[in-house]
Amino acid sequence: MDLNLIKEIAISSPEKIVMLVLDGLGGLPDPKTGKTELETARIPHLDTIAKHGICSMADPIAPGITPGSGPGHLALFGYDPIANLVGRGALEAVGIDIEFGPDDMTARGNFCTVDDKGIITDRRAGRISTEKCTELCKLLDGIKVNGVDIKTYPVREHRFVVVFSGKNLHTELTESDPSQTGLAPLEVKAEATIARQTAPIINEFIAKAKAVLAHHHPANMILLRGFAKKPKLPTMQEIYKLNPLAIAVYPMYRGLARLIGMQVADAGTTLEDEIKTLKDNYNKYDFFFFHVKWTDTAGEDGAFDRKVKILEQVDAALPAITSLKPDVLVVTGDHSTPAVYGGHSWHTVPVVICGQFCRPDAVKEFSEPAFLAGGLGRIHSTDIMPLALANARKLTKFGA
Amino acid sequence: MDLNLIKEIAISSPEKIVMLVLDGLGGLPDPKTGKTELETARIPHLDTIAKHGICSMADPIAPGITPGSGPGHLALFGYDPIANLVGRGALEAVGIDIEFGPDDMTARGNFCTVDDKGIITDRRAGRISTEKCTELCKLLDGIKVNGVDIKTYPVREHRFVVVFSGKNLHTELTESDPSQTGLAPLEVKAEATIARQTAPIINEFIAKAKAVLAHHHPANMILLRGFAKKPKLPTMQEIYKLNPLAIAVYPMYRGLARLIGMQVADAGTTLEDEIKTLKDNYNKYDFFFFHVKWTDTAGEDGAFDRKVKILEQVDAALPAITSLKPDVLVVTGDHSTPAVYGGHSWHTVPVVICGQFCRPDAVKEFSEPAFLAGGLGRIHSTDIMPLALANARKLTKFGA
């Protein structure tokens, strides 16, 4: 949907929308039982919401396309995820609240372990502590290349962010991370003529970092990927006239929310913390992005039973959300992460929209097969925001 | 669908298409019974058509978007309703058959009541009679501002149309109607630099109108909105090679039909008149837009039972249409107007296409829940025309 059109018809209203995003929600059947994670879990509250709401299996991007977390979430917030691709580096940088300008270039970094021959033996340097990561980042901070200022920021464990500050930096670059062990880090190459001056700067930085880290085994090398500048996105206030709050435990999701103008709560580290955050802030906002990460982590780890358990935990916490009586409740995911697949996947994602003016459908339980008969048919995830806004009476009529 | 592609493959054929548009057709369940207007009504003939045809719940514009009557109908006729937005003024003007040129600017006007302080106390001037409106329009006709000719035309009760004839008039203007009582009429302002010379002309016209109307309480002021020029739309003859007739009781729908090249019948004032008009003209045309307004009016008034009754009246009249044996019969609406919502809404709209070559689906009754299982899935209303044309053998193969 054209956001300029939405912007024209969106109005502020007292109604409140809660969008509960269970990361990696959709699943696949366990071959032993023939049932997906959602079909296996005892989730009576989610079933009730499915019964009262209008359901769909939605495409986050397009059929067959497996979304990263960035595009998956941007689609949920109504932004065209293809036209508004946010690079990994920028996503990580905003996630840890780094100030950086429009000329700066960011990258996601890993400390890693290489052997004497320079072959990667551990892409995560044995998951060093965040404290260690912080120390090492300080060592790298002295490095300068060709007048380009380089600053590194610890994220968590082996993960860090690099910000390159200079003129004429271009992101059309290959990654240094080969995404597997047993290989040497790759030379960064320009993918477009315009980035031909940028690539050697990155490679020199990596070489200097290697020298600095030589005696810091297991973190004796770095891998860089996701070179990106800060994207310019219209805010949710501008487009939707919303006053939105993000409740998310993981930095990247907070960063993404911040990029589109959401206030970001200090949401603690657990589901209970997040629920408390929602309650404490419920009067102050009219849109709540409530992110649950652990469904995705379990799916990524191939942990079917754990994903089932987390779904049951979320279900048990649901009355704490519904008791706030949001005018519109959306429950969905940013993409599927089936445990039997062990990673993000292209499968459609369950979505239910619940509000006073939903036209009911025949869906009686919260599961992939049940949602196929949902009253919304097959929609795009970018349709969810307009539908949620309409149900909350936040969109006026289009045209006379 | 790209109309240029349709234009290339469309051919003239003897087959006849009747498109029966029940304005505001889709509904929502009555909380007492859990049944929508369509589910409540006894509509055996519509059920038969649903049984024989192929069904869908269609999006007039896009998920979450509530269509005005203009965009809702343009979509039914296959025109992109976003790219071809027709302003209210132009719609009203063509609806009362006013001749106006491409440079002229139109606006929809209301006579209203203001108190001594200029505060609006009634936006409709107590719904003065159409005769009174006609009289007052004549008084306003003498007004001239800066060489711009201004003519006013009565529509119905307090409603009128203004046509500003001059050079360099631009429609990027705010409205003078604050859409509520208790406020003074708003100053019209330019929303773009290009309209900076137009705004003062409008404001001076309004001031002069106020002076003229001073002693005509309750119609002692005017409100203007929907500034618009005549849109340039390709005709249905050009695109579809059709010879289309519009049968509609209300002016706006006739106006819209005329904008895209339809002949407009004198269709009387009742459903019976419309049926007779269809019969009388059946041999002379190959496409019939048959508009039933009262379903929408009932929905807007929140009159659930009345909407049910009107559906039953339409159903009873249906054999008179089917006995003409149109090659393709389409029954649908331009948008939903659920009585429990009391206005146009964003919900999908039932559509059935009935013809010799429809691939049947399992739908057995004409209702929103039943149509969810329709063989067309969820389509856009702009898909209806190509499907109707194809079923009437009016579209040739695309590509070799």
pLDDT in tens, B228-258: 998 889 999 999 999 999 999 988 899 899 9
- Which contiguous run of DSSP H or E holds residue B353? strand B349-355
Of A94 and B362, the structure prediction assigns the larger pLDDT to: B362
Q: Which pTM does this prediction carry? A: 0.89
The answer to whether the CB of A335 falls within 8 A of the CB of A345 is yes
pLDDT of residue A1: 75
Using a CB-CB distance cutoff of 8 angstroms, which residues of chain A are in contact with residue B345?
A: 357, 390
A121 band by pLDDT with thresholds 50, 70 and 90: very high
Strands A263-264 and A244-247: parallel
pLDDT tens-digit map of B42-54: 999 999 999 999 9
pLDDT exceeds cutoff 90 at B156: no
The answer to whether the CB of A400 falls within 8 A of the CB of B67 is no
| B95 token code pair | 């609806």
pLDDT of residue B400: 83
Chain A residue closest in CA terms to B377? A377
B71: left (phi over 0), alpha (psi -120 to 50) or beta: alpha
How many CB pairs below 8 A link A and B? 97
Among all chains, which residue has been given the structure tokens 């901070």? A141
Strands B105-114 and B120-122: antiparallel
Using a CB-CB distance cutoff of 8 angstroms, which residues of chain A are in contact with residue B346?
A: 386-387, 390, 395
The answer to whether the CB of B227 falls within 8 A of the CB of B106 is yes
pLDDT exceeds cutoff 80 at A232: yes
A7: contact with B, CB 8 A cutoff: no
pLDDT exceeds cutoff 80 at B207: yes
A120: left (phi over 0), alpha (psi -120 to 50) or beta: beta
| A213 token code pair | 């880290």
Half-sphere exposure of A172 (CA within 13 A, CB side): 9
Quick one: B228 exposed, middle or buried, by C-beta within 10 A (0-12, 13-18, 19+)?
Answer: buried
Of A235 and A251, the structure prediction assigns the larger pLDDT to: A235
Short-list A281, A243, A277, CA closest to A261? A243
Interface test with A, best of B35, B59, B65, B253 (most A CBs within 10 A): B65
Order of strands, edge to edge, in the sheet holding B287-292? B263-264, B244-247, B287-292, B17-22, B328-332, B349-355, B54-59, B378-380
A328: contact with B, CB 8 A cutoff: no
The answer to whether the CB of A175 falls within 8 A of the CB of A226 is yes
**Bond into B231 cis (ω within 30):** no
A194 band by pLDDT with thresholds 50, 70 and 90: very high
B39: left (phi over 0), alpha (psi -120 to 50) or beta: alpha
Q: What is the mean pLDDT of residues A337-351?
A: 97
A11: contact with B, CB 8 A cutoff: no
Closest by Cβ to B377, choosing from A357, A373, A377: A377
pLDDT of residue B302: 97
B99 band by pLDDT with thresholds 50, 70 and 90: confident
pLDDT tens-digit map of B267-281: 999 999 999 999 999
- Which contiguous run of DSSP H or E holds residue B354? strand B349-355
| A223 token code pair | 């891998």
The answer to whether the CB of A162 falls within 8 A of the CB of A143 is no
Q: What domains are there in chain B, each with its CATH number?
A: 3-85+233-391 (3.40.720.10), 91-228 (3.30.70)
The verdict on a CB contact (< 8 Å) between A390 and B65 is: yes
The answer to whether the CB of B365 falls within 8 A of the CB of B41 is no
pLDDT > 70 fraction of chain B, expressed in percent and rounded = 100
N residues, chain A:
400
A268: left (phi over 0), alpha (psi -120 to 50) or beta: left
The verdict on a CB contact (< 8 Å) between B66 and A378 is: no
N residues, chain B:
400
| A163 token code pair | 């910000």
Using a CB-CB distance cutoff of 8 angstroms, which residues of chain B are in contact with residue A399?
A: 67-72, 81, 85-86
pLDDT exceeds cutoff 90 at B364: yes
Closest Cα of chain B to A293: distance in Å? Answer: 28
- What lies within 8 Å, CB to CB, of A165 at 6+ separation is A100, A101, A103, A104, A148, A149, A150, A151
Task: Report DSSP letters for B179-242, one per residue.
Answer: SSSSSPPPPP-BSSGGGTTHHHHHHHHHHHHHHHHTTSTTS-EEEEEEEEPPP----HHHHH--
The answer to whether the CB of B246 falls within 8 A of the CB of B257 is yes
Using a CB-CB distance cutoff of 8 angstroms, which residues of chain A are in contact with residue B381?
A: none
ipTM over 0.90: no
Sign (positive or negative) of CA dihedral A337, A341, A347, A348: negative
- Which contiguous run of DSSP H or E holds residue A37? helix A37-40
pLDDT exceeds cutoff 90 at B97: no
A99 band by pLDDT with thresholds 50, 70 and 90: confident
**Mean confidence (pLDDT) of chain A:** 96
| A197 token code pair | 């001056």
pLDDT > 90 fraction of chain B, expressed in percent and rounded = 91
B81: contact with A, CB 8 A cutoff: yes
| B194 token code pair | 């290009």
Distances (CA, A) of A214 to A139, A187, A207, B192: 12, 18, 11, 62
| A29 token code pair | 């059947």
Quick one: A342 exposed, middle or buried, by C-beta within 10 A (0-12, 13-18, 19+)?
Answer: middle
DSSP H helices in B227-380: 236-240, 251-259, 271-281, 294-300, 304-322, 368-371
pLDDT exceeds cutoff 80 at B259: yes
Torsion angle of C-alpha atoms B125, B129, B135, B137, degrees rounded to 10: 50
Give the max Cα distance, chain B: 73
pLDDT of residue A263: 96
The answer to whether the CB of B334 falls within 8 A of the CB of B69 is yes
Query: Nearest 5°: phi and psi at B167?
Result: -95, 155
pLDDT tens-digit map of B280-302: 999 999 999 999 999 999 999 99
| A161 token code pair | 């962010």
The answer to whether the CB of B39 falls within 8 A of the CB of B357 is no
Q: Which residues pair with A109 in a beta bridge?
A: A160, A224
The verdict on a CB contact (< 8 Å) between A359 and B347 is: yes
**Mean confidence (pLDDT) of chain B:** 95
Strands A144-145 and B105-114: unpaired
| A397 token code pair | 């009529």
Closest Cα of chain B to A38: distance in Å? Answer: 24
Closest Cα of chain B to A375: distance in Å? Answer: 6
**Separation between Cα atoms, residue B159 and residue B129, nearest integer Å:** 10
